[in-house]
């Protein structure tokens, strides 16, 4: 199932590219048809311009999707956040950084578990170790 979900993105992008190619060809035929009025030709030119931009964007996305993936991409991680020099401001910053990572992980539907923590004096953390698990962490 995981391999199917990986290849499904590529297949969907390719199918969408094929649909855009068909639309582009249809607009090109209207443009080349000598019986078409100027208004139709203008609409066809505009549609070809829009479709061309979409196709270029989609081709770049397909190139990225076709790149080989790192086998370590699917593993869970341990994330360690430590306050640097700076006293209470560094502790507060590490707490803010934890909040950002926690919200991002929540948006990605990943599980976050605190493995070890050392609270700061004025809020935040002196050090914090998290285990993040889920799909494509």
pLDDT tens for 75-115 read 899 999 998 887 888 999 999 999 999 999 999 999 999 99
Asked if 63 contacts 9 with a C-beta cutoff of 8 angstroms, the reply is no
Instruction: Spell out the residues 6+ positions from residue 66 whose beta carbon is closer than 8 angstroms to its own.
Output: 10
pTM over 0.75: no
> From CA 101, how far away is CA 109, in angstroms rounded?
12
Whether 18 has a pLDDT exceeding 80, the answer reads yes
Distance linking the first and last C-alpha atoms of the chain: 17
Indicate the pLDDT class of residue 58, thresholds 50, 70 and 90: very high
**H-assigned helices in 1-137:** 2-32, 38-66, 88-107
* 6 or 108, which is more confident: 108
Q: 3-class DSSP state for residue 26?
A: helix
Q: Name the 3-class secondary structure at 109.
A: coil
Supply the mean pLDDT for the chain. 88
């Amino acid at each position: 199932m995981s391999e199917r979900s990986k290849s499904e993105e590529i297949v969907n992008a390719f199918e969408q590219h094929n649909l855009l190619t068909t639309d582009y060809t249809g607009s090109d035929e209207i443009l080349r048809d000598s019986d078409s009025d100027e208004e139709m030709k203008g609409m066809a030119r505009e549609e070809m311009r829009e479709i061309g931009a979409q196709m270029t964007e989609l081709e770049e996305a397909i190139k990225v999707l076709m790149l080989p993936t790192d086998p370590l991409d699917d593993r869970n991680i341990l994330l360690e956040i430590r306050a640097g020099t700076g006293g209470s401001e560094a502790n507060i910053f590490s707490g803010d950084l934890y909040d950002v990572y926690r919200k991002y992980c929540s948006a990605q539907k990943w599980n976050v578990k605190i493995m070890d923590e050392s609270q700061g004096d004025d809020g935040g953390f002196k050090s914090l170790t998290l285990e993040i698990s889920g799909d494509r962490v």
